[in-house]
Amino acid sequence: MDYFSSDFTLGILGGGQLGKMMLYDTRKFDIKTIVLDPSDQAPCALACNKFYQGDLMDFDTVYEFGKKAHVLTFEIEHVNVQALEQLASEGVKVYPDPATLKRIQNKGAQKDFYRQHQIPTADYHKFDTLDSLRDAISQDRIDLPFIWKSTLFGYDGNGVKVVRKDADLNGLPDGECIAEDMIDFKNELAVIVARNPSGEIKTYPVVEMEFHPEANQVEYVICPARIDDAVAEKARALALDVSKKFNHVGLLAVEMFQTHDDEILVNEVAPRPHNSGHYSIEASYTSQFEQHIRAILDLPLGHTDSKVAGIMVNLVGEEGHSGDVHYENIEKIMGIDGVTPHIYGKKQTRPFRKMGHVTIVNEDVSKARKIAEEVKNTIRVISR
């Protein structure tokens, strides 16, 4: 099929920042795009060929939108899978496949998949309700502390909580959840795997993630990860194995724990471009967003090596600030060599909301990390 400067139409479900960054590359290649998102303020609205406003979880909305596309992809997991299955059965190419999304969308099903396929992961118990979890604690069937995760609709630290005592369960939503063993880990790592329908497969270098202690959000993504080569090879091999078992097409971001004895455990996966790959826009030969487009269109995959070390700093709304956004001191960080801000186009800030990111590139990863700290301490996302 001729994708370039043609009538071919790529449909993207979700109009957030991941979609917006995908559109950098569809515009570069002159590939026609349509986007569906519930918000008329969605970052993608300005950059796609045609924007549709609608509910991503509504069958009819997703189905009618999907019929307008030759290939359909998504930048968020919370979409109506039944509509995707119907579209795929009628000949619309949906990547990643609806069956892959179904396995990943529910964190309980995702954990069960790891167990069934001998993929190393933290032990867990699944519960239908919060009360059944409370009963298990009172009967000493599970030990405190543990990680509580909602099986549905968790993102960016939402739907995840460390439970150290019974009272920590108060106020949590009463739905299906898992209680996962806390892992005493040395590092949190991630590997992005790209795969096209022809079976070509490539992995990006291992990145290291530093998390904000309160928000449970990534503060820094560091590439290359500051780990031994043998550990990096083990992580990439495990990510490849996970990808093959999911049989996904497109990108799969595999988040992992490195334990103190250098075992690698899979935490969770995302079947789309991912926060852990944002560094690649400036630092890699092929950005994760271009790679996702190449993969779902069955084009040759691009080179995944880095040109230089890259560090990504998330820009999130400051605590105590809600309303029209202002990026304080953005000019100061733009005066530093190797620093590139990406502003997502969300007009309203609120505490810990992802509003953008900054990439720092340098030949030396330790210098890049120091500059990243300076960037983090200089720019502030506040309300006017």
* Predicted pLDDT of residue 278: 97
> 123-181: same fold as 9-94?
no
Are 278 and 220 in contact by the 8 Å Cβ rule? The answer is no
Interhelix angle 59-66/81-89, nearest 10 degrees: 40
Parse the chain into domains and list their residue ranges.
Answer: 9-94, 123-181, 185-383
* Predicted pLDDT of residue 358: 98
* Predicted pLDDT of residue 83: 98
Superfamily of domain 185-383: ATP-grasp fold, B domain (3.30.470.20)
* Spatial distance between the Cα atoms of 124 and 62, rounded to a whole number of angstroms: 33
* Spatial distance between the Cα atoms of 66 and 10, rounded to a whole number of angstroms: 9
* Predicted pLDDT of residue 155: 59
* Predicted pLDDT of residue 174: 86
* Predicted pLDDT of residue 211: 83
CATH 3.30.420.10 given to domain 9-94: no
Q: Which helix (H) or strand (E) holds 368?
A: helix 365-378
Q: What are 86-138's pLDDT values in tens digits?
A: 999 999 999 999 999 999 999 999 999 999 999 999 999 999 999 999 999 98
Q: Which stretches of the chain score pLDDT less than 50?
A: none
How many C-beta atoms lie closer than 10 Å to residue 108's C-beta?
A: 19
Question: Which class is 123-181 in CATH?
Answer: alpha beta
Q: What pTM value is reported for the model?
A: 0.94
